[in-house]
Structure 1
């Protein structure tokens, strides 16, 4: 399956989750009804009251937990004792982790997520959590940092990125919320039993009896909850392992991590078992030790054998004996193995890439071949001073604003004035300085990676500052009608990602619209893209427009009519197009690509424009388009 099919599958899984949850609720209501009949007999009044009370407890419990998770993945990481990894960390293990995550983000075309370490966990494990790529969190245990070498850490992180890209992450966090409801009755029973010891005589018997009955019902809820998590999780873990191999182009990394889980006493089971139970379905490895019908992960040996068919259980036994006396050290293994990512030169700015629409659509959220190595190349191509600027709390905002500056001096003057009016002269001056010293000769392929590196710093700013910054970005982008399409789209991408950070649960949903319902929006987007790619050549622009429309609406005739407002006409198209059905988005990406590549080639600048548009529409595209053989 490609990205769009997996998104459609994720939406179906959400529907399946609702159905399973409904069946679990029905089972709990029936059991409560049976207990009421045993206690007071088959009387309609008590039965109805018990059913309503049960539904109310479950519903309110789920709503409470879902509400507590509205801020996204960070809540889950903090609940498990996660400690954030700062952008300027100098700790070798944390720096290695951040480098791996940053390169993975650039390779996959998504914002750099927040990074957490579960410092109190000696086991090897990890998870990704959040509602969208904009509020995602990647967390690894201290055991993973200590024991895994760089290849193995890459494999684990790539596995988690598969969950981010496939839509699993959103389903996982919703699963935490809805399952909490069916556990509520058991939780209430335990609380009553703990705090009801002060009652005496007959009251004690009633309290203890009620508490035991609630705990019995809660056990049924736990049973249902584990079955639902196992049913939703197991197949996705197999897919994530396979996706990690496609991403990193080697099996040794993720297979090595799995072997270390099986060969070390600490394994993958988390010390905080109660919290681990709630998130067991989203962990890299089995965090609680469940098996059989309730296992959230396939057996460890089978996962390893899927990657290395010749691996046998006795091999794992030998590794256990070896590591019992000499536990592995990840950083020392890096030195011994000489793990240095391959490097290659960036393509020339005027180089043309030969691509096809299906090729680009297939790459969306599906990095493969050398994408990870290319991402490493991009990160290495960013000078250390510029990297430090992008990850510095006070410099990130001026840097991003400088990326949006127009080449025209008059337009840039108006943009400068907009910054002064909203954020002060010092920010505007710093943006000017950064443009002059770092950005004038910046390769076009480095603009989005720079914005990605700055993103984690930006979203940690206080809400009022972030709101002012977004207002400034909007003003800079719309300073006049001469803003370039890239500057407009990069500004829009920043707005989308940062606004989702402010309220992630509200901004993410699966779309259901079909192309026929957004004909005019398609026409506007493709007309703007065609005009921007062929300035001054109306005939070529029209041919580019028609190439795109033929892909998405082959039976409809929508005349080419460049909007009078230029790129600003796109303000009205993003929301309807982002609400497209996942499979319709695949056709949309193919249509945009057909328009950009109507002459058979795509320039480096056009490929970055395509990536930016895809990012705005939540279709993350790797940084370097594949090339057809000539």
Structure 2
């Protein structure tokens, strides 16, 4: 199952969630009415009033919780006691975690998510939360940092990235909000019981009776809530395990993490049980200790045996005895295992790739084979100085602006004026300094990954500063009459990802449009791709355009026309194309790839445009694309 099929499956799961929620609400309303019926008899008035009040409590509870999660993944991590990992941390365990997440993000073609640690949790567990890749958060427990070696940490993080990339994360965070409404009546009952402790006389009986009814009905809500979480979560955990293996190309990492969960006394159960109840379906391991119908995860031994078929229960017993005497230390295991081998070298800056549409579509949000090693190669190819600049709060903006500074002195002067007017002379001077000292010789393939590294600190800036920064980026891109391909790519990615990070809930959606409804938008997109890949050669551009149209809309005959506005014509197509059905997006990616590779070769600039289009339309690509073997 590829990315687009998983997205379509996630959309169907969202529909199923609505149905299950409606059935749970119906059951709770019936239960409440039955209790009222026993007290007052078959009187329509009280029964109707009870129904309306029950629906209002559940509905308002769900709306309140969903609204409280409007800021996305960070809200969930903070409510669980998460502490953000600084970009410039020197703690070896935190540095290792940040390196793994950064490499995983770059290998996946998504912005580096915000990283949190649940410092007070000694169990081994993790989760990903957010509405989209732009506001995603990856959180791990302190036990995960201390007990897992690098391979095992990679396996856990890869598992969470599967949820980020395949739409599970968005469904998970909505599930938190929806289920809160179902639990509201029980919460109200406990509050009544707590605050009514001082009531005496006949009032005490009424308070106790009301609280008892609410708690009994609330128990029904807990029952349905756990059933829904279990039904939505279990199968996706199996798929996420498999995706993690495909991503890291080895089973030992994630299997080792699962063995340590089973072999250590702390396991994966969270100490903050109430918080674990709400997010149980989001966790890497079972955070509640539930089993049977309520289990949000498959049995631990079953998960291990799916990865290592020969593993036996007695082996887990031996590990339990071994780790009881001497608990594992992840960093010491890293030392014993040796250093991670270097990845592949970057291709020549002026080189070209050989791709096929099916291969590229298969890589969307499904990094595999050597993608992780390639991402590691990209990260290690960035100098430590430049990496520190990208992850420093005050240097990230000048760095990205430095990437946009033009080679021509006159245009660069205009760009400096725009920076000074909005962000000040100090930022402009720093951007010029970084360009001169670090960016002139930067390999083209490192530019967008470097921007991805800077994203976490950038989105933490105050909203007015982000707005001023985006205005500056726009002004720099349009400082002259020509917008280069790279200028447009970087500017557009920053605009989309930062805007979504500011208001993530607003941008979370699964599209439903079909290709036949966006014919003109497809024609514009493919004409831009064809023109940018074949400047000055109309015949070659037309062949590229037709190669793409034949794949996506073979029955439509829209003639090729060079875009009058160049790459800026893409501004009109983003919203309609992002509303496409997930499976239609797969065809779209294949069509774009067919256009850029019609001559059998794809330049680095074309691959950047391809990755930008896919990133803006929420189909993230790895930074280096799988090539046709020669």
Please give the TM-score of this superposition, normalised by the length of structure 1: 0.99
1:535 Cα shift?
A: 1.3
| RMSD, aligned α-carbons | 1.0
8 Å Cα contact 1:341-1:376 kept in structure 2: no
Q: Select between 506-515 and 78-87 the one with higher mean Cα deviation.
A: 506-515
The answer as to 2:419 corresponding to 1:419 is: yes
8 Å Cα contact 2:485-2:605 kept in structure 1: no
8 Å Cα contact 2:525-2:570 kept in structure 1: yes
Q: Which residue number in structure 2 is paired with residue 298 of structure 1? A: 298
1:343 Cα shift?
A: 2.5
8 Å Cα contact 2:110-2:615 kept in structure 1: yes
Q: Which residue number in structure 2 is paired with residue 232 of structure 1? A: 232
1:59 Cα shift?
A: 0.4
Distance (Å, rounded) in 2 between the aligned partners of 1:567 and 1:427: 28
Q: Select between 90-99 and 388-397 the one with higher mean Cα deviation.
A: 388-397
8 Å Cα contact 1:513-1:581 kept in structure 2: yes
Q: Which residue number in structure 1 is paired with residue 566 of structure 2? A: 566
Secondary structure in structure 2 of the residue aligned to 1:198: coil
Secondary structure in structure 2 of the residue aligned to 1:121: coil
Q: Which residue number in structure 2 is paired with residue 215 of structure 1? A: 215
Structure 1, unpaired ranges of 5+: none
Q: Which residue number in structure 1 is paired with residue 175 of structure 2? A: 175
Q: Which residue number in structure 1 is paired with residue 47 of structure 2? A: 47
Distance (Å, rounded) in 2 between the aligned partners of 1:267 and 1:526: 52
Q: Select between 437-446 and 326-335 the one with higher mean Cα deviation.
A: 437-446
1:220–1:341 Cα change, 3 Å: farther
Q: Which residue number in structure 1 is paired with residue 117 of structure 2? A: 117
How far does the alpha carbon of each residue in 1:483-507 deviate from its partner, in whole angstroms, 9 at most, with x for none?
Answer: 1122102111110000001100001
Distance (Å, rounded) in 1 between the aligned partners of 2:36 and 2:439: 73
How far does the alpha carbon of each residue in 1:4-57 deviate from its partner, in whole angstroms, 9 at most, with x for none?
Answer: 111111111000000000000000000001000111111111110000000000
Secondary structure in structure 2 of the residue aligned to 1:524: helix
Distance (Å, rounded) in 1 between the aligned partners of 2:479 and 2:559: 29
Q: Which residue number in structure 2 is paired with residue 538 of structure 1? A: 538
8 Å Cα contact 1:189-1:215 kept in structure 2: yes
- Pairs within 5 Å for 1:113-512: 113-512=113-512
Q: Select between 119-128 and 421-430 the one with higher mean Cα deviation.
A: 421-430
Q: Select between 618-627 and 83-92 the one with higher mean Cα deviation.
A: 618-627
1:542–1:412 Cα change, 3 Å: farther
Q: Which residue number in structure 2 is paired with residue 80 of structure 1? A: 80
8 Å Cα contact 2:351-2:603 kept in structure 1: yes
Secondary structure in structure 1 of the residue aligned to 2:139: strand
Please give the TM-score of this superposition, normalised by the length of structure 2: 0.99
1:417 Cα shift?
A: 2.1
Q: Which residue number in structure 1 is paired with residue 33 of structure 2? A: 33
Distance (Å, rounded) in 2 between the aligned partners of 1:415 and 1:54: 59
Distance (Å, rounded) in 2 between the aligned partners of 1:586 and 1:289: 39
Distance (Å, rounded) in 1 between the aligned partners of 2:348 and 2:38: 79
Structure 2, unpaired ranges of 5+: none
Q: Select between 300-309 and 404-413 the one with higher mean Cα deviation.
A: 404-413
1:339 Cα shift?
A: 4.0
Q: Select between 503-512 and 222-231 the one with higher mean Cα deviation.
A: 503-512
1:583 Cα shift?
A: 0.7
8 Å Cα contact 1:544-1:596 kept in structure 2: yes
1:411 Cα shift?
A: 3.0
| Count of matched residue pairs | 630
